[in-house]
Structure 1
């Protein structure tokens, strides 16, 4: 089952406005590897696409976790520091950036600065598969 109802609703609301003005001209976003440099490989077989939004309060963070399948992320607002606990890499991301989270590597994240971080997430995984796994202490 595809959970894209909010996306469909957004297109329905935006459609009349799009018909009245030409589409914006921009550069395509091309992402060829994960945040940690891994090649991006889609899982074989049937896929379930899940689109979501995550909000991280100013000064807060996400606990250690990993994603067994590719997760495309756009930073909609704020600044985010991602620490890969397997490789030691630290990346800072800003509003407007697109990345693919590391696949099957433990990482954590924290909001930088005084504003919340808003993330748009797009997961592609086999139907019924977990897309985020929290690390147990």
Structure 2
């Protein structure tokens, strides 16, 4: 499982400048092509961050949104990812991945009796402004 996470991270970082970034749209509408897809220098100015999270059964991530792309790769357990703007929900099991649309509010909840362990992969501008997690009260 860690091998997949490292491969995903490497793919995000080492994407060839002539290739457009993949537009995964598990939740929400497909994203429009970005300037980075046609400008090699813009493609080089990308920051990718990855962290592992574990939620106990019934546990959840607070409501959040980010301006960049976010992917969730589930290693163990089941995770329900909800787009609070569109109302779309997706149940993601071990070995599967979900994508969150930039700018929309999301929440993730661990389903079942097993803890959910997953990787959060954020991709955005190199200045670090892409990942802005926040909850409803602005904290």
Q: Which deviates further from its counterpart, 49-58 or 124-133?
A: 124-133
Looking at structure 2, the residues matched to 43 and 98 of structure 1 have their Cα atoms a distance apart, in angstroms, of: 25
Equivalent residues of 2:76, 2:117 under 8 A apart:
yes
Q: TM-score, normalised by structure 2?
A: 0.67
After TM superposition, the structure 1 = structure 2 runs for residues 46-61 of structure 1, keeping only pairs within 5 Å, are 46-61=45-60
Cα deviation 1:42-64 (Å, max 9, x = unaligned): 57431111121111111111111
Alignment length (residue pairs): 110
The higher radius of gyration belongs to 1
Could you tell me whether the CA contact under 8 Å between 1:34 and 1:103 is conserved in 2? Answer: no
Could you report, residue by residue, the CA deviation over 1:9-39 in whole angstroms, capped at 9, with x for unpaired residues? xxxxxxxxxxxxxxxxxxxxx8632422322
Residue 27 of structure 2 corresponds to which residue in structure 1?
35
The answer as to whether partners of 2:123 and 2:130 remain within 8 angstroms in 1 is no
Q: Find the counterpart in structure 2 of residue 136 from structure 1.
A: 136
SS of 1:35's partner is coil
Residues 51/42 of structure 1: CA separation in 2 closer, same or farther (3 Å cut): farther
Gaps of 5+ in 2: 1-5, 7-21, 37-41
Counterpart in 2 of 1:63? 62
User: Are residue 116 (structure 1) and residue 108 (structure 2) matched?
Assistant: no
Structure-2 change in CA distance of 1:40 and 1:55 (3 Å): farther
User: CA–CA distance in 1 between the matches of 2:112 and 2:63?
Assistant: 20
Q: CA RMSD in A?
A: 2.4
Q: When the two structures are superposed, what TM-score results if normalisation uses the length of structure 1?
A: 0.68
